[in-house]
Amino acid sequence: MTQPYPGGYYLAEPDWLFANLDCDTLCILDARFDVRLNSEGRLEEVHGLDGYQKAHIPGAQFVDLYNDLTDPDQPTSIINKDAFEALMTKLGVCNDTTIVIYDERGGVWAARLWWALRYYGHKNVKMLNGGLTAWRAAGYALAGTGSEAAPEDFQTRKDLSTKPKKVAQTPPYIASINPDLRVEKQDVLAAISDGKTRILDALPVPFYQGQMGLYPRHRKGHIPSAHNIPAEANLDPKSLRILPFSELKTLWESAEIAPEQPVITYCGGGIFASFSLFILALMGHEKTALYDASWMEWGLDTSLPVEIT
């Protein structure tokens, strides 16, 4: 028998989501995003709106991880409390709404939204295991303008018209900041030598080792004392589903993290590191926090120490 995840309530399976699509207290958020190398060999952002418009899970709304969640005055920070409340209210999210989020990369991007919701006090937020890939593999139809989207076929699988949605004005969303889930560079500096806190780099190995640079103007390498577990290493490379709990435990043994140990995660801009926090939550770790500014801040500040492996 497969050992369950201690924090399994943070995970939603496609069958469960399909069975609950007509629930009035469910909100599905599509948080697709990606980066790619351009013709100059530099990373550029690929926003997921086009993909969402072509095909998405029926009823899902799109959230742009950069334009919707990044503070325009502080590009290395999550949006402030007022802006987050306005975004959730616009999406029709209530404080007691069950939220399911997904992307096309097994959650490594959508986890940014998962963390933001937790940081601002939302209690019931889940990640779709395997994301859009798993939804397709399960045979469930999609909505949208693309050729693979077939709303009429969806209706043959589940007739939502028999249960009309309640029409009501959404009350304003009220956020409650959990400051323990976010740290600043001074906290990371203290953690380097405190002997208690583990620092976790969620970037691919070449960036951690300093073989490749993440940004043109930034230094290469990693934060001293940091261990490296790339975000995507937590996924089955074919199905993009989360690895079984036993395999996650084996993978994370290299970081020597005990369940009661404080952990700070970082990456390039707080996205892959949010996925690491999600994995730690699945594994039952509670003392975890995100260095939100990550390498966008650390790699540019020459007063901060850097290691190259």
Residue 168 has a pLDDT of 54
Q: Rounded to whole angstroms, how far apart are CA atoms 50 and 54?
A: 6
pLDDT in tens, 187-243: 999 999 998 999 999 999 999 999 998 888 999 999 999 999 999 999 999 999 999
Identical topology for domains 8-162 and 179-298: yes
Residue 41 has a pLDDT of 59
Determine how β-strand 198-201 pairs with β-strand 227-228.
parallel
- Angle at CA of residue 292, ends 305 and 282, nearest 5°: 110
**DSSP bridge partners of 61:** 29
> pLDDT grade, residue 304 (50/70/90)?
very high
Q: Rounded to whole angstroms, how far apart are CA atoms 24 and 164?
A: 9
Residue 39 has a pLDDT of 64
Residue 47 has a pLDDT of 82
Place of tokens 């120490």: 305
Q: What radius of gyration do the chain's Cα atoms show?
A: 19
Structure tokens at 186: 């001074």
Residue 309 has a pLDDT of 86
Residue 38 has a pLDDT of 64
> pLDDT grade, residue 155 (50/70/90)?
very low
DSSP secondary structure, 31-80, as one string: --EEEEE-TTS-EEEEESHHHHHHSB-TT-EE--TTTTTEETTEEEEEPP
Q: Measured in whole angstroms, how far is the alpha carbon of residue 67 from the centre of its chain? A: 15
CB 177, CB 242: distance < 8 Å: no
Query: Structural domain boundaries of the chain?
Result: 8-162, 179-298
Report whether pLDDT(279) > 90.
yes
Average pLDDT, the chain: 91
Q: Could you tell me the maximum CA-CA distance found in the chain, to the nearest angstrom?
A: 62
8-162 homologous superfamily: Rhodanese-like domain (3.40.250.10)
pLDDT in tens, 122-148: 999 999 999 999 999 999 999 999 878
179-298 homologous superfamily: Rhodanese-like domain (3.40.250.10)
Backbone angles phi, psi at 294, to 5 degrees: 45, -145
Helix axes 111-119, 272-282, angle to 10 degrees: 70
Residue 164 has a pLDDT of 40
Q: Which residues contact 123 (CB under 8 A, 6 or more apart)?
A: none
Report whether pLDDT(258) > 90.
no
> How big is the chain, counted in residues?
309
In the chain, the DSSP E strands lie at: 11-12, 26-30, 33-37, 43-47, 61-62, 70-71, 74-78, 98-102, 125-128, 182-183, 198-201, 227-228, 263-266, 288-291
Residue 147 has a pLDDT of 78
- Cα dihedral 181, 184, 190, 191 sign: positive
Identity of residue 107: G
Residue 163 has a pLDDT of 38
The better pLDDT of the pair 127, 162 is held by: 127
For the stretch 70-93, what's the b/e string if a residue is b when 16 or more beta carbons lie within 10 angstroms of its beta carbon?
Answer: beeeeebbbbeeebbbebbeebeb
Place of tokens 């009035």: 24
Q: Rounded to whole angstroms, how far apart are CA atoms 114 and 170?
A: 21
pLDDT in tens, 57-105: 999 999 999 899 999 999 889 999 999 999 999 999 999 999 999 999 9
Identity of residue 19: A
